[in-house]
Amino acid sequence: MDFKDIIGHEKVIEGLNKAINNQTISHSYLFEGEESIGKKRLAYAFAKMLLCKGGKEIPCNSCSSCTKFDSGNHPDFFVIEPENNIIRVHQVESLIKEITTSPYESTRKVFIIDDSHKMNTESKNTLLKTLEEPPHYVNIILISSSSNNLLPTILSRVQSIKFYPIEYSKIIDLLVSDHNKSPEEAKFIAEFTKGAIGRSIKLSNDEGFFQRRDEIIKIIEALINGDKTKALSAMDFFNENKEIIDEILDIFLLWFRDLLLFKELGQSHLLINKDKLENLSFQSKVNYSRINDIIVRVQETKGNIRRNVNYQLAIETMLLNIGGI
């Protein structure tokens, strides 16, 4: 894998290439930006370049370093990730131990700390000492979607590189060409994930995703028609999808957002559920204030579930409210 395999992030790549060519590589970087937009993938590609022993073109993809990197067995490459959502001090300590010994294969050692904002206080303080004066052969790449949770003293010691979501059109092209999606499906996924390429690919390969949306549209239709039996039986669907309730409620929200748009503009390129015009048209009899109420309800339900209120109760209340039952 190298920069050629990365979609988007042209500015970031240009900057890192420049640093390599001018030999102005920082000892510590922070790759920051929203979740699932490709920061880690790019960090891996950069690490491979830093470790490559090849000549003019790096990564050369043929030296022993590149081979070992691709097989996942590079002795000078380390990745730390949260364990049960926390990066604990023993993980940082083992990183520091590795930092103090010279590289085996390459002329550098590269360390990636993924979700670095998940370091606990002890971990952050321990890492800080290392960031102050790392050995010359060390490069550390912190990755974070929430860098304001890192210590200012850490932030002042790293070169921060900002990542932005990828243009929808690039994601759409990729999903159509490599992931077997129709242009309509690809567009829906790219807009649904707001340009998060990793999540887009994951949803593309999730066979049930569009079925779930169809089921949600059916449930909404029944609720709007005041179909009490269907409203209550919808609970089964929510229980089956408890683990991905955020996704389910986001599909709800997008649907009602589209319904508002459809009422305002009719058929429009701004619609995300553009392939469901018939259903939108059928439901457009619902008045504005009811749609706005429903959106507020669904958002409240999302918040309540995050705060761990009783799941069953939260969903039932939402369904009954949407249905005006």
Query: What is the binding site for Zn ion (CB under 5 A)?
Result: 52, 54, 59-60, 63, 66
- Name the residue nearer to Zn ion (CB basis): 104 or 288: 104
In the complex, the smallest distance separating the C-beta of residue 6 from Zn ion, rounded to whole angstroms, is: 17
Q: Which is nearer to Zn ion, 59 or 323 (CB)?
A: 59
Alpha-carbon span 315 to 235, nearest angstrom: 7
DSSP single-letter state for residue 83: B
Beta carbon nearer to Zn ion, 66 or 161: 66
Instruction: Kindly tell me which of 59 and 134 has the beta carbon lying closer to Zn ion.
Output: 59
Find tokens 């370049």 and name the residue: 49
Q: For residues 4 and 269, which CB has a smaller minimum distance to Zn ion in the complex?
A: 4
- Rounded-to-integer distance, Cα 83 and Cα 318, Å: 34
Residue 291 phi, psi dihedral angles, 5° rounding = -60, -45
Query: What's the CA gap between 223 and 232, in Å, rounded?
Result: 10
Alpha helices in the chain (DSSP H): 10-21, 39-51, 64-70, 89-99, 121-132, 152-155, 168-178, 183-192, 197-204, 209-224, 228-240, 245-265, 277-283, 288-306, 311-322
Nearest-approach distance from CB 4 to Zn ion, in angstroms: 14
Rounded to the nearest whole angstrom, what is the least distance from the CB of residue 16 to Zn ion in the complex?
16
State the nearest-atom distance from the C-beta of 53 to Zn ion, in Å. 6
Q: How far is the CB of 47 from Zn ion (least distance, A)?
A: 12
**What's the closest the beta carbon of residue 58 comes to Zn ion, in angstroms?**
6
Q: Which residues, including other chains, have CB under 8 Å from residue 225's CB and lie 6 or more apart?
A: none
- Bridge partner residues of 160 (DSSP): 30
**Min CB(45)–Zn ion separation in Å:** 12
Which CB, 54 or 82, lies closer to Zn ion?
54
Closer residue to Zn ion (CB): 49 or 322: 49
Peptide bond into 134 cis (omega under 30): no
Give the Cα separation of 252 and 263 in Å (integer).
17
**Of the candidates 225, 239, 279, 237, the residue with the CA atom closest to the CA atom of residue 256:** 279
